Amino acid sequence: MSLRRWSVTLFAALVALVTIAPLLWMVSVSFMVRGEAAQFPPPLWPANPTLENYRLLFGTFGVGRFLLNSVLISTLATGLALLFTIPAGYAFAKLRFKGRDAIFRMLVAALVVPGQVGMLPLFLELKAMGLVNSYAGALVPWLAGIFGIFLVRQYCLSIPDEMLEAARIDGASEGQILRRIVLPILTPIIVTLAVYVFLSSWNDFMWPLIILADQDLVTLPVALAVNSRQNVQDYEIMMAGAVVTTLPVLILFLALQRYYLSGLLTGSVKG
C-alpha cells in the first residue's frame, strides 16, 4: 500500500473511532456501579461490571413497557408506511391517470414545509377525530411520507414499461403485476424505506411527546427524557436507558445495511 493510501486509511479509522467512542463508552458506563462515571478522570471500563442499572431500569422504572410501546409503534409505522407508500410511488411512476404529474409536483413542493409546522394543525385534526392519546394518533404521520413516495417513484421509473406490458399480456392484473413483478424488483428500496421509517419513528421524540399523554403509552425516547430529568445525576442509569434505546435499531441497521446501502446507491448506479 502506498503512503497515500495508508494516510487515508488512518484518517478514516480516526474518524470512525471518534464517532464510535461515545457509543462504546455509553455501553461501558451502563455496566458501572452508581457514581463511578462521575469520577475524574472518568474511567473507560467498569471496575466491577454490574447489571444493576438494567435491573433498576426494567424493574423500578418499568422501561419494558416503554420498549414495547416503541417496538409496537415503530413496527406498525413501518408496515403502514410501506403499505401506502409503495403503491403510491408505483402509481406515480407507472400508471397513467389524470393529474398524475400535477399531484406529484404538489407533493414534492410540500416537502419543503418543515414537519414541525404541520404538527399543530395535525394535532387539532386528530383531536377532532378523537385520536389524541392513542397509538393510532401516534401512527398517523407515518402513513404515507412524501419522501418515501418520492423514493419508490424514482426507483420504479427505472423498471422498463415493456416488462409490465409483458406481464399484462401474460394476463396479470395490476395488483398481480405489483405483487409478483414490481415488489421483488423493489426489494432494495423497500428495505431502505423500512429501515428509514423504523429508525425515524423509533427515534421520534416530538410527535409522541405531543400526542401521547398517558404514561402507559409513551415511547422510549420520551420516557428516557422524563427519566433523565428525574435522575439527572445518575449517568449509569441514563446510559443503560440509552443502550436500551439505541441497541435495537443499531442491530436492525447493521443486519440490513447491505440492502440499505444498495438501495441508496441504486439511483446513481442503475442506468
Question: Minimum distance from CB of 98 to other proteins (Å)?
Answer: 14
Among the residue ranges 36-44, 115-123, 131-139, 163-171, the one whose residues contact other proteins (CB under 8 A): 163-171
**Length of the chain measured in residues:** 271
d(CA 151, CA 90): 10
Among the residue ranges 67-75, 181-189, 203-211, 252-260, the one whose residues contact other proteins (CB under 8 A): 181-189
* Touching other proteins, residues 141-160 (CB under 8 A): 160
Number of Cβ within 10 Å of residue 58's Cβ equals: 16
> Does 179 contact other proteins by CB under 8 A?
no
Question: Minimum distance from CB of 171 to other proteins (Å)?
Answer: 3
Out of 166, 225, 261, 265, the residue judged to bind other proteins by CB under 8 A: 166
Question: Minimum distance from CB of 196 to other proteins (Å)?
Answer: 23
- Count of chain residues binding other proteins (CB under 8 A): 16
Question: Minimum distance from CB of 62 to other proteins (Å)?
Answer: 46
Out of 8, 83, 95, 163, the residue judged to bind other proteins by CB under 8 A: 163
Helix, coil or strand: residue 42: coil
| Residues 137-171 as b or e (16 or more Cβ within 10 Å = b) | bbbbbbebbbebbbbbbebbeebeeeebeebeeee
d(CA 21, CA 215): 33
Helix, coil or strand: residue 31: coil
d(CA 103, CA 108): 9
> Does 262 contact other proteins by CB under 8 A?
no
Which residues would be at the binding site for other proteins (CB under 8 A)?
160, 162-163, 165-172, 176, 180-181, 184-185
